[in-house]
Amino acid sequence: MVAAPAALAQEVIEVPMKTSLWQIALSGGYVMIPLAALSILAVMLILVYLVTLRRGAVATSRYMQTAEALIRKKDYLGLLAISNRHNEAVARIVQRTLDFMTKNPRATLAEAREIAQAEGTRLAGALNQQITYLADIGTIAPMLGLFGTVLGMIKSFTAVASDIAASRPMLLAHGVSEALVTTAAGLLVGIPAMAAYSFFRGRVQARISDLEAATTQLIALLGVGSSDRRE
């Protein structure tokens, strides 16, 4: 008769407690809310950069072929109209350069190149500025995780100093759990964000190189056409 209650107690002890991922996230406390927001923002930025940081956003073969044909024909008004209709970065540089040359007929080729270089530098800076948001997320997320860790440890030490001995182990476990969960969540958001930043940084450098090559090619053709026109 004694073996039955003992076996029943053993079965009760051996039953594992299942904890869902949602329950683990809730145990992290209020710090998990900004971490969740940062994770959603990081995913959205990655998807946007996958679409916008492609070679077609800098220069397309269709625009380059059309622009070269118009420059050889010395149809600068047509080139300006085509550049206004295209959203490529090189089209914006050509548009700014042609606007300057139209408003300043006596401007030299060196001055036109300076305008093109200044616009190209501005666009390159804008590309670099975009991806820094991922680096910011990669820096802020672990700091938030560390903040949650500090809050959890404070709760744990408060539980140790508590006068109620019965609830002390539960409060201590809750504080340690919150500290560990927020640390893991901060790293889980920060590490992929920094990895994505490193990936897109290389892509931005490639796009800047494509922009420089396309701009140099068109500005050189514009310089030849302007020299022929002046002669």
| Residue 226 within a domain | yes
In this prediction the pTM is 0.75
Domain count along the chain: 1
pLDDT digits (tens, 9 = 90+) for 103-150: 887 877 788 888 888 988 899 898 899 899 999 999 999 998 888 888
| Residue 124 within a domain | yes
Range of the domain at 147: 32-50+58-230
| Residue 210 within a domain | yes
Q: What percent of the chain has pLDDT over 90?
A: 22
Q: Supply the pLDDT for residue 171.
A: 57
188 φ, ψ (degrees, to nearest 5): -65, -30
| Residue 12 within a domain | no
| Residue 153 within a domain | yes
